[in-house]
């Protein structure tokens, strides 16, 4: 931890996609016209693949180091120095970010290749890839940033690209609304995130260690002990704010509502952003700052509670959905809930492990559904599908493997990661039986709705109309090869994280330098086996019920649907009316507030302005009066006085000579008298 190794190649992991994005963004339209789409594909995919290569190299380098020394850093540029704040543009790779960059570049690269097939007929091909690269750049920045400020740039960047890509087909207002919703809801979370950053910086600055660099925050974490603000420990407050940001980005309660709508975007986008990478940013952030979270038990409990509630709630909604992507969206929300559950019981490594395995099978599921939609000519309603097994074998098999993984079938990756979380929920010092129980129920539901989807889409008779049936076909290799690779990963990736009872947990060991010391509660191996068996059993039950309902058709879904007068069904199908609630409360509330503002502006403020204008006019009118009567009066009076005195003096002109003489004589007499009296 003391001496991170300096490098200068890490920056290229982040910058190569940026260059790709710039090229495609600025010149893409022209290039596409002149050279062709293959050039766009090259410019877009090459950087990501090369970045993956560099990530592997970094990973190898890290592995060669001793565990305590596993830190690579690349200080690219000194960014800003303001007061006591000093931030560089620096990228670092430690075990945690190594996992992340491998996932992002690896799965991201596969999705880029898949997109060349899926988006083949789209006119705005270049724009898609420009944003996809930009997104990759932002996400890589997010996970390799060595300071919270730099991470926040990436945080915002992925939000922006998410908005741009969800609303990619912007001519349809439904898509743009979905994009807006994603961005706005994210913004609410980002507000919390920023407050978290401020609190952390402020607390550290107060004690002389001003920094936002992760490493230094971790080193000085003890400074958070005992610091209070508004009667609450600062660590708790900061982590609560940061968690708010995480709920926005990672679609947890209460800020999850944007994710289902985000399915309006192209399916590869859903795969990349809303399954494998962006939505995991929240989990990454908590894992990154795990020291701080471990100092705030209240926040951890909240995180776990929210996580399990989200996991269970989203699963219940997924039961009744008929859009193939919606099911997967709620499934994503639910699985993210598991990750947060893991983080909430201080099982940070298992949470990140599940993040990794989930990336594989969820991406596989989304890309598979994309393949199905592509074959169905754009149809996404599962009730119109069926029997696709015959037409799309590769898609079918990869999809099945991914479903097995997500359901937690033993020996798939999903089994290992999800099970570890369930075990930690039960056994960790921060865990509880209830957390485990609800998570278990959620797992059962997960198995059910995933198999339901599998059966509805691929088995039975095709319910599509004849025209569509006519051109059902397997997808091109550009699309099927990534599926295959991901499916393999869905099985294999789990073996690096074996539970303690089976063998060495390579993953946990790898992550150890990053995770602070957490007190482990001791439980017996027997308990672990028992729990494992229970979860397998629950998953099997889910499978069985789905099998009966949608394959054998012996159990009628209708009977369950009409339970309690259809109330449960309706609640589930309508997503518990949360969207409507938000709309009424926040959206319309804000609009009404705006209307009040308009009213104030129009009547009060404009009233004041008009009033002052009228007052000015009135004063001028008074002045006019004053001018007319007083000033002019005075001027006229002067003239009148002159007239009047002139009239009086006119009388002197008598025309009488005698009179004049008298006057002259009188004056002379007077003059002489005066001279005699006063002179000499």
Partner 1 sequence: MELGTVVFYLVAALVVGSAAMVAFSRNIIYSAFSLLGTFAGVAGIYVFLGADFVAAVQLLIYVGGILVLILFAVMLTHRITDVQITNRTAGIVPGILIVGIFLALLIQTIRETPWAKAKEIVYTPTSAKIGDLFLQSYLLPFELASIVLLAALIGAVVLARKEIKG
Partner 2 sequence: MEITLTHFLILGAIVFCLGLFTVLTRRNAISVLMGVELILNSANINYVAFAHYSSGGVDGQIYAIFVIMLAAAEAAVGLAIVLAIFQLFHTIDVGATETLKE
Residues at the interface with partner 1 (CB under 8 A):
654, 656, 658-659, 662, 665-666, 668-669, 672-673, 676
Give residue for tokens 């000579």.
657
**651 binds, options partner 1, partner 2, none, Cβ within 5 to 8 A by partner type:** partner 2
Q: Which residue, 647 or 679, has its beta carbon nearer to partner 2?
A: 647
Q: How far apart are CA 109 and CA 271, in angstroms?
A: 12
Q: Which residue has the tokens 């019981």?
A: 345
Burial (CB count within 10 angstroms: exposed 0-12, middle 13-18, buried 19+), residue 348: buried
Instruction: Answer for the pair 493, 357: CB distance below 8 angstroms, yes or no.
Output: yes
653 binds, among partner 2, partner 1, none (CB under 5 to 8 A by kind): partner 2
Decide which of partner 2, partner 1, none touches 377; Cβ closer than 5 to 8 Å per partner kind.
none
Q: Using an 8 Å Cβ cutoff, are 259 and 279 in contact?
A: yes
Nearest partner of 194 among 221, 235, 155, judged by Cα: 155
Distance of closest approach, residue 676 Cβ to partner 2, in angstroms: 15
Nearest distance from residue 658's CB to partner 2, in Å? 6
CA distance 319 to 331: 10
Q: Which is nearer to partner 1, 469 or 654 (CB)?
A: 654
Task: Compare residues 82 and 676 and give the one whose CB is closer to partner 2.
Answer: 676
Query: Nearest approach, Cβ of 636 to partner 2 (angstroms)?
Result: 24
Min CB(670)–partner 2 separation in Å:
16
Cα gap 102→487, rounded to integer Å: 17
Q: How far apart are CB 674 and partner 1 at their closest, in Å?
A: 11
Give the position of tokens 């789905």. 546
Q: Which of the listed partners (partner 1, partner 2, none) does 554 bind, with a CB threshold of 5 to 8 Å by partner kind?
A: none
672 binds, among partner 1, partner 2, none (CB under 5 to 8 A by kind): partner 1
Give me the DSSP letters along 363-394.
Answer: HHHHHHHHHHHHHTTT--BGGG---TTTT-HH
Collapse the DSSP code of 213 into the 3-class scheme (helix H, G, I; strand E, B; otherwise coil) and give the result.
strand
Q: How far is the CB of 675 from partner 2 (least distance, A)?
A: 17
Which of residues 66 and 652 has its CB atom nearest to partner 1 in the complex?
652
In the complex, the smallest distance separating the C-beta of residue 628 from partner 2, rounded to whole angstroms, is 34
For residue 517, the 8-state DSSP code is: P
CB of 665 to partner 1, least distance (A): 6
| Exposure class string for 642-678: b at 16+ Cβ within 10 A, else e | eeeeeeeeeeeeeeeeeeeeeeeeeeeeeeeeeeeee
- Chain contacts with partner 2 (rule: CB under 8 A): 650-651, 653-658, 661-662, 665
- Could you give phi then psi for residue 84, rounded to 5 degrees? -95, 5
Using the minimum distance from each CB to partner 1, give the nearer residue, 35 or 669.
669
User: Residues 47, 53, 56, 60: what is their CA dihedral angle, to the nearest 10 degrees?
Assistant: -130
Closest CB to partner 2 among residues 615, 661: 661
C-beta closer to partner 1: residue 647 or 676: 676
């Amino acid at each position: 931890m003391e001496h991170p190794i300096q490098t200068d190649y890490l920056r290229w992991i982040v910058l190569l996609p940026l260059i790709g994005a710039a090229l495609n963004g600025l010149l893409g339209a022209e290039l596409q016209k002149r050279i062709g789409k293959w050039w766009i594909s090259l410019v877009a995919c090459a950087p990501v693949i090369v970045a993956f290569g560099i990530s592997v190299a970094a990973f190898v380098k890290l592995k060669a180091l001793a565990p305590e020394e596993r830190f690579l850093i690349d200080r690219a540029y000194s960014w800003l120095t303001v007061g006591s704040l000093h931030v560089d543009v620096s990228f670092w790779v430690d075990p945690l970010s190594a996992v992340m960059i491998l996932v992002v570049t690896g799965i991201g690269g596969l999705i880029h290749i898949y997109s060349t097939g899926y988006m083949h007929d789209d006119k705005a091909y270049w724009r898609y890839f420009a944003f996809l690269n930009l997104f990759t750049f932002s996400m890589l920045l997010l996970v390799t940033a060595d300071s919270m400020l730099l991470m926040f740039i990436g945080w915002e960047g992925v939000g922006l690209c998410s908005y741009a890509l969800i609303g990619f087909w912007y001519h349809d207002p439904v898509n743009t609304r979905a994009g807006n919703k994603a961005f706005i809801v994210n913004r609410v979370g980002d507000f919390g995130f920023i407050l978290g950053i401020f609190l952390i910086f402020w607390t550290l600055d107060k004690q002389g260690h001003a920094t936002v660099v992760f490493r230094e925050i971790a080193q000085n974490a003890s400074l958070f002990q005992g610091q209070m603000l508004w009667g609450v420990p600062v660590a708790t407050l900061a982590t609560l704010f940061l968690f708010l940001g995480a709920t926005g980005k990672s679609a947890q309660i209460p800020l999850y509502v944007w994710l289902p709508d985000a399915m309006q975007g192209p399916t590869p986008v859903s795969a990349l952003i809303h399954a494998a990478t962006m939505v995991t940013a929240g989990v990454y952030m908590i894992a990154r700052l795990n020291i701080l979270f471990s100092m705030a038990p209240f926040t951890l409990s909240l995180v776990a509670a929210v996580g399990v509630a989200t996991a269970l709630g989203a699963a219940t909604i997924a039961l009744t959905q008929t859009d193939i992507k919606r099911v997967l969206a709620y499934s994503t929300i639910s699985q993210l809930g598991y990750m947060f559950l893991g983080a909430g019981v201080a099982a940070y490594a298992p949470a990140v492990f599940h993040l990794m395995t989930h990336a594989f099978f969820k991406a596989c599921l989304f890309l598979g559904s994309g393949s199905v939609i592509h074959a169905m000519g754009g149809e996404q309603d599962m009730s119109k599908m069926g029997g696709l097994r015959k037409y799309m074998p590769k898609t079918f098999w990869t999809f099945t493997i991914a479903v097995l993984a997500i359901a937690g079938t033993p020996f798939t990756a999903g089994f290992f990661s999800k099970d570890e979380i369930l075990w930690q929920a039960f056994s960790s010092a921060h865990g509880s039986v209830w957390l485990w129980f609800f998570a278990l129920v959620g797992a059962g539901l997960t198995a059910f709705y995933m198999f339901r989807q599998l059966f509805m889409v691929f088995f039975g008779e095709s319910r599509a109309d004849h025209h569509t049936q006519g051109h059902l076909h397997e997808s091109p290799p550009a699309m099927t090869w990534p599926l295959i690779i991901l499916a393999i990963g869905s099985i294999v990736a789990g073996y690096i994280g074996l539970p303690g009872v089976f063998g060495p947990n390579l993953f946990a060991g790898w992550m150890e330098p990053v995770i602070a010391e957490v007190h482990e509660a001791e439980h017996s191996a027997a308990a672990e086996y028992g729990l494992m068996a229970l979860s397998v059993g629950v998953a099997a039950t889910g499978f069985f019920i789905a099998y009966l309902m949608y394959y054998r058709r012996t159990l009628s879904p209708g009977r369950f649907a009409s339970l309690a007068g259809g109330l449960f069904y309706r609640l589930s199908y309508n997503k518990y009316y949360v969207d409507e609630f938000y709309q009424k409360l926040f959206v319309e509330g804000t609009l009404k507030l705006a209307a009040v503002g308009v009213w104030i502006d129009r009547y009060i403020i404009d009233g004041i302005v008009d009033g002052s204008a009228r007052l000015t006019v009135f004063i001028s009118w008074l002045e006019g009066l004053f001018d007319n009567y007083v000033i002019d009066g005075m001027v006229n009076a002067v003239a009148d006085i002159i007239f009047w005195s002139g009239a009086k003096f006119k009388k002197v002109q008598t025309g009488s000579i005698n009179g004049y003489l008298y006057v002259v004589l009188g004056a002379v007499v007077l003059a002489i008298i005066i001279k005699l009296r006063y002179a000499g």
